[in-house]
């Protein structure tokens, strides 16, 4: 009997093609729309109804069953509240990573298995094999960075067929199959990150923040910020301090409500060579101390040669603007070992 696969269908082209490929490969496919967020924001209508209808349309075209799981309450608690708390602590979290850890590869997986699925599938540009995670073949679209907190057990029950393809091939396949989403533009991720900037979202959630001083490397106050939570280490735009050389954010003091900046690109406060990691997670066996690996320190950031010593990441070359709350993901060539959150 064919294995039952529940495919997370977001209403986009990637998950549509994922469902089509798995059906072609002989799986019994069930399309599932995860309703994670439906709240409209100022100047932005959340397109969840449209996405749900698009996913349903594709399911009808493919002749597969379709249902919706409502995860809104859990998503709010596990992803949104986590993100807000992290920003309030002065960190720069990544909600996509938390969404994959808590919702897609935990809540969705558990719900689907309890509902009769043998496996789940997603439209990620990454590859899984025997409970291991590998980068997607399309290096420009690779999403393995966001998936490093998935467990070996979850990956053993997960399929990511488009990880073997390039985006151009996915679009071509969708057109060839006449899928309703073939020409749909890629979404900007979650409703509140993308079309609505993070600042607007935080303002909507928390209201106006207390202004405070922007202090340069000499200790001089050169301007006023409109809330320290809105600034990221290494940030250069949106400081509104005017005049001369660009300023870069070097640190934030949340207790004193200060944002510290520098005009000196060589300022030691901007550069890190040995960041510490917390909440470390390894998918399979942990990496060996002192063996050389590669680290990706932000999505689409370059791979940097590194070694590990316990929870300390030792980078071969100093990196600029590493912010607490961001993830460092460790690779052994194209295999993802896991990673941790920069402190």
pLDDT tens-digit profile, the chain (343 residues): 899 999 999 999 999 999 999 999 999 999 999 999 998 887 788 889 999 999 999 999 999 999 999 999 999 999 999 999 999 999 999 999 999 999 999 999 999 999 999 999 999 999 999 999 999 999 999 999 999 999 999 999 999 999 999 999 999 999 999 999 999 998 765 555 556 688 888 999 999 999 999 999 999 999 999 999 999 999 988 777 776 789 999 999 999 999 999 999 999 999 999 999 999 999 999 999 989 999 999 999 999 999 999 999 999 999 999 999 999 999 999 999 999 999 9
Distance CA 163, CA 228 (A): 39
Tell me, yes or no, if 191 is annotated catalytic: yes
Q: Where are the domains of the chain?
A: 4-176, 209-269, 273-342
Q: How many Cα atoms occupy the beta-carbon half-sphere of 192 within 13 Å?
A: 25
Distance CA 39, CA 76 (A): 11
Query: pTM of the predicted model, to two decimals?
Result: 0.94
Annotated active-site residue in 55, 191, 233, 259: 191
CATH number of the 4-176 domain: 3.40.50.620
DSSP β-ladder status, 312-315 and 303-309: antiparallel
* Alpha-carbon dihedral 124, 126, 127, 130, rounded to 10 degrees: -90
Tell me the sheet residues that pair with 129: 132
Q: What is the per-residue pLDDT for 189?
A: 55
Q: What is the per-residue pLDDT for 54?
A: 97
Q: How many helices (H) and strands (E) does the chain have?
A: 9, 19
Q: What is the per-residue pLDDT for 188?
A: 63
DSSP per-residue string spanning 282-300: ESSSPPPTT--EEEE-STT
Q: Which residues contact 276 (CB under 8 A, 6 or more apart)?
A: 311, 312, 313, 342, 343
Q: What is the per-residue pLDDT for 197?
A: 80
Residues in the chain: 343
The 3-state DSSP class for residue 9 equals coil
Tell me, yes or no, if 46 is annotated catalytic: no
Q: What is the per-residue pLDDT for 192?
A: 54
Annotated active-site residue in 99, 135, 214, 295: 99
Q: Which helix (H) or strand (E) covers residue 62, if one does?
A: helix 48-62
Q: What is the per-residue pLDDT for 123?
A: 97
Distance CA 323, CA 94 (A): 11
CATH number of the 209-269 domain: 2.30.30.280
CATH match for 273-342 among 3.40.50.970, 2.40.30.10, 3.40.50.300, 1.10.150.120: 2.40.30.10
The 3-state DSSP class for residue 99 equals helix
């Amino acid at each position: 009997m064919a294995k039952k696969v529940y495919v997370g269908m977001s209403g986009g082209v990637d998950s549509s093609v994922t469902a089509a490929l798995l059906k072609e490969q002989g799986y019994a496919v069930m399309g599932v729309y995860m309703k994670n967020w439906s709240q409209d924001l100022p100047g932005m209508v959340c397109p969840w109804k449209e996405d749900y209808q698009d996913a349903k349309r594709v399911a009808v075209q493919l002749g597969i069953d379709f249902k919706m799981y409502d995860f809104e309450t859990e998503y709010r608690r596990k992803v949104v509240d986590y993100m807000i708390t992290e920003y309030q602590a002065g960190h720069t979290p990544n909600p996509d990573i938390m969404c994959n850890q808590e919702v897609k590869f935990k809540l969705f997986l558990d719900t689907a298995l309890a509902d009769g699925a043998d496996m789940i599938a997603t439209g990620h540009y990454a590859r899984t094999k025997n409970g291991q995670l590998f980068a997607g073949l399309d290096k420009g679209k690779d999403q393995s960075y966001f998936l490093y907190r998935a467990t070996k057990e979850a990956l053993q029950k997960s399929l990511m067929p488009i990880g073997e393809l390039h985006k151009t091939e996915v679009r071509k396949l969708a057109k060839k199959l006449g899928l309703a989403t073939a020409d749909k533009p890629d979404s900007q991720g979650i409703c509140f990150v993308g079309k609505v900037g993070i600042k607007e979202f935080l303002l909507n959630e928390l209201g106006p923040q207390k202004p405070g001083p922007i202090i340069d490397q000499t200790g001089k106050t050169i301007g006023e910020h409109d809330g320290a939570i809105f600034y990221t280490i290494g940030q250069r735009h949106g400081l509104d301090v005017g005049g001369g050389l660009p300023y870069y954010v070097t640190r934030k003091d949340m207790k004193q409500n200060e944002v510290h900046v520098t005009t000196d690109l060589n300022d030691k406060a901007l550069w890190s060579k040995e960041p510490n990691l917390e909440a470390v997670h390894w998918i399979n066996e942990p990496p060996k101390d002192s063996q050389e690996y590669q680290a990706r320190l932000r999505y689409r950031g370059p791979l940097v040669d590194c070694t590990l010593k316990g929870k300390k990441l030792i980078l071969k070359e100093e990196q600029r603007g590493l912010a607490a709350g961001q993830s460092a993901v460790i690779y052994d060539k194209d295999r993802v070992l896991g990673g941790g959150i920069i402190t």
